[in-house]
Structure formats: C-alpha cells, structure tokens
Structure 1
Amino acid sequence: MTTAAGSVSTAQYFVAYPHQYHFIVDQPNRCQQESPFLVLMVPVAPHNREARDIIRNTWGKETTVLGRVVSHYFLLGLSREGDGTELPEEQVLQESQRHQDILQSNFMDNYSNLTIKTMVMFEWLSSHCPNTTYAMKVDSDMFLNVHKLVDMLLKSPRHLYMTGMVARGAAVLRDRNSKWFLPVSAFPETSYPPYALGLGYVFSLDLPKKILQASFHVKAVYIEDVNLTYQ
C-alpha cells in the first residue's frame, strides 16, 4: 500500500494491540490448580490438529520432569473473519473437551497477527498462572527436549529472566518482496536490538506483566519476535 505521494503507508505493518480480545475456548482454572513449574505455550493454526496430536503423543506427554510439574497449552485464533463474538468450531470444542489444553481467542489466526497471538499469550499467563515459575513459547514444528529444559531452569534465575536463540545485529529488511519487510517510516533504525527468535524462548513469569505494561506505550509491529524488542 502506498500514499498518493508514493511513500509506503505504515498502517499495514502494525497490528491491533492493545485491544480487548477474549477467549472463546479457555481453561480458566487448570493452571492455578496444577501450579506447574513450567508452562509450554504452543501457537498453532486452528486447522492443524495433526501438529497438536503429534505433540500430545511425544514431548507434550511429559507432565512431571525431575519432580517438577510441566503443562502445555495450544494457543489458537479464529479460522475465519467475524464480528468478534464467534462460538468455537465444533471440532475445536470437542478437542478441547477431550484434552483440556486448547486456548482460543477471538482474533484472526494468520501470519500477520502472530504478534497479537504472542501478546494474548502473555495476558493469559499473567492472569491464570500465579504459582508458575517459567513459561516457554515454542512453535508447533519444534521438537522439545523437556527433560533438558527443566534441568537447565532448575539452575536459572527466577526473576527478570528470558533466554532463547538470540539474534544480534539483525538487519531491518527494506526489500518490499521480503516476508519481513519494514519501511523506514515504521522502524527507522537499520538493525534490530538483540531479540530471541520466535521459534522458542523461555521467560520467568514476572515478565508477562511487565511486557504488557510496556505494550501500552509502543505501536506493535507484525513481526512478533522483533516486537518484543520494543517492550
């Protein structure tokens, strides 16, 4: 999209956050009741039941590791546009009733809204997991060594802590054909501050509230892992 003067419009590179999103499928009490040491949050498309089942049958099966409780949740948006008051699709609702691990919010689930998905994740963790020490956002196509992760976290700081594969000095892509293009008008610097790649990162549970507070003072860009450098 361009303006009449030919410059790139920035609107399409930002997402609607903060915003009053709500969950149409939720597990409102499970995290508080289980008080897990570690919560694994897996963003996944609503239609991708196969990925969810693979995780449930592999590393998602590990619920107690080195004496610590570990739980997982799948985070979904909507599969189609609507007015924000949609009921969940029957298949998703049945899956949720069976496995008790689905969280579905009322934003459109697509690549451009991954930042919204991430921020909604922070909202849910902040309000539902008061006794949890760590959480990890991990993509559904990753294979996670949960035993090694818990072993590492038992020796890690419990406050103001975040770790993952860190990108340092990453260039801001100005090629308009790139999937991750940002114009100068949206992000004037030529490189990003260090940030943890979105494929997977771990954080202590005091961080979600701080990140959410910071989000009220910045405009959220559509590149979800980069967006966390703003917070």
Structure 2
Amino acid sequence: MESGLLKLKDHQVEYQMTRPSKENVCDGVDAVVYIMTMLTTDDTERRKVMRKLLFDKANLPSNHNVIHRYVVGRYPANRTYQQNLIDEMKAHDDIIFVNYEEVYGKNYIKWHAMHEWHMKHCPQAKTFIKIDDDTAIYLKRTFQWLDRDFGGIIKNTTEYFVCNALSTDSAPSRALHS
C-alpha cells in the first residue's frame, strides 16, 4: 500500500491505495481506462463481463497500447467474498484498492486516488479515460476519433474533456443500495 493525500482548502483526507504489482506497469502504455466500481457481488460480475467484452484484445485498438484498472473502496463483505476478491486481484492484476469507506458521498476520494495513482505510475500515458462500471465504451472507435482529433475539434490541444453531455441543473439519481 502507498499513501495518498487529498487537500481541498480546509479539508484534508489521508488514504492508502494499492501499488501496482509491476513497477513498470505503464511502460509503453498510451492510455489507461479507469473504471469506478464497488465490491459487491453484482459488481464482481460486471468486472467479469467488462474484461471479456470491453477489454478483450479484439475490441482494443491495434495501434495503441491500452490498459485498464478498476478503482474500488473499502466495503463490508463476508469472509468468502473477501477471499474471492483477493483471488480476483491476483488473477487479473487490474484492481486499485483504496482503503476508504465505499459510499457515494465519498466518491471524490476514489476519484482523487485514481488521479494520484495515474500521476505516480502512468504519467507518460497520454490518454486518461474514466468510466463507471455501468458504462460501455468501444475503445477502437474512441481511438479512431482521438486519432482524428475529433474532426479537428481538439487539434493542437493537449488537455481536453470529452463527454456526450453534462447536466448542471440536477442531482444524480441513485438507487438506495448503491
């Protein structure tokens, strides 16, 4: 585990997060896709599906080296599930665990940890993509558009934010159990 520190004006949060198993995890990597997810049984199934579909080599661009990481927080679980999670982490080596309570109101800590992990371990990766585990992305197509500068929209731009739409006049609608 390694330390992280989030500072926002008068608010400060210290946390721990897992280190990559390989120090050179991002050598030659063009992009990292970070997926916000949780440690529930349903989310475990989503990770399985995402690994098979979104991150299958056939669905990745051949001209870009793309890796992915799931970002999870601390979640109360039974002993069997905890062992299954340990097994999943060892088998896939694609989970960043943040030792902080997994509740929606504290997602900003996971967001910060995700960025902190990226800056510590993958600063040379040109593209940073953040999605949630209930989101689908076709990475081949995404990189076709990136390679074309989104039709010139991002030409000569090194920092940009791409999304379909942002709504600033409403709060997120969340299920009670999430």
Q: Under a length normalisation based on structure 1, what TM-score does the superposition of the two structures give?
A: 0.58
Task: Tell me, yes or no, if the aligned pair for 2:34 and 2:114 is still in contact at 8 Å.
Answer: yes
Would the alpha carbon gap of residues 91 and 24 (structure 1) be closer, same or farther in structure 2, given more than 3 Å must change?
A: farther
Task: Tell me, yes or no, if the aligned pair for 2:60 and 2:139 is still in contact at 8 Å.
Answer: no
Give 1:25 shift: 6.3
Q: Which amino acid aligns with 1:77?
A: G
Higher relative contact order (CA 8 A, sep 6+): 2
CA distance in 1, matches of 2:56, 2:33: 12
Given candidates 69, 74, 84, the residue that maps to 1:73 is: 69
Q: Which amino acid aligns with 2:64?
A: R
Alignment deviations for residues 158-212 of structure 1 (CA, whole Å, 9 cap, x no partner): 61221112325x2266xxxx868xxxxxxxxxxxxxxxxxxxxxxxxxxxxxxxx
Task: Tell me, yes or no, if the aligned pair for 1:26 and 1:104 is still in contact at 8 Å.
Answer: no
Q: Which residue of 2 aligns with 1:32?
A: 26
Give 1:26 shift: 4.1
Q: Which residue of 2 aligns with 1:160?
A: 159
Given candidates 16, 24, 39, the residue that maps to 1:22 is: 16
CA distance in 2, matches of 1:40, 1:17: 28
Q: Does 1:97 align with 2:97?
A: no
Task: Tell me, yes or no, if the aligned pair for 1:43 and 1:140 is still in contact at 8 Å.
Answer: yes
Given candidates 144, 148, 151, the residue that maps to 1:151 is: 144
Task: Tell me, yes or no, if the aligned pair for 1:77 and 1:107 is still in contact at 8 Å.
Answer: yes
Greater shift, 89-98 or 124-133, is seen at: 89-98
CA distance in 2, matches of 1:120, 1:152: 28
Task: Tell me, yes or no, if the aligned pair for 2:17 and 2:113 is still in contact at 8 Å.
Answer: no
Q: Which residue of 1 aligns with 2:52?
A: 57
Q: Which residue of 1 aligns with 2:3?
A: none
Matches within 5 A, 1:1-231: 18-24=12-18, 26-27=20-21, 29-33=23-27, 35-47=28-40, 48-62=43-57, 64-80=60-76, 89-156=82-149, 157=154, 159-167=158-166, 170-171=168-169
Secondary structure of the equivalent of 1:167? Answer: coil
CA distance in 2, matches of 1:96, 1:76: 11
- RMSD of Structure 2 on Structure 1 (CA): 2.9
Q: Which residue of 2 aligns with 1:218?
A: none
Gaps of 5+ in 2: 1-7
Question: Of the two, which has the highest radius of gyration?
Answer: 1
Task: Tell me, yes or no, if the aligned pair for 1:27 and 1:101 is still in contact at 8 Å.
Answer: no
Q: Which amino acid aligns with 1:78?
A: R
Secondary structure of the equivalent of 2:111? Answer: helix
Q: Which residue of 1 aligns with 2:4?
A: none
Task: Work out the percentage of aligned pairs sharing the same amino acid.
Answer: 18
CA distance in 1, matches of 2:11, 2:165: 24
Task: Tell me, yes or no, if the aligned pair for 1:43 and 1:139 is still in contact at 8 Å.
Answer: yes
Give 1:64 shift: 4.9
Q: Under a length normalisation based on structure 2, what TM-score does the superposition of the two structures give?
A: 0.74
Q: How many residue pairs align between the two structures?
A: 154
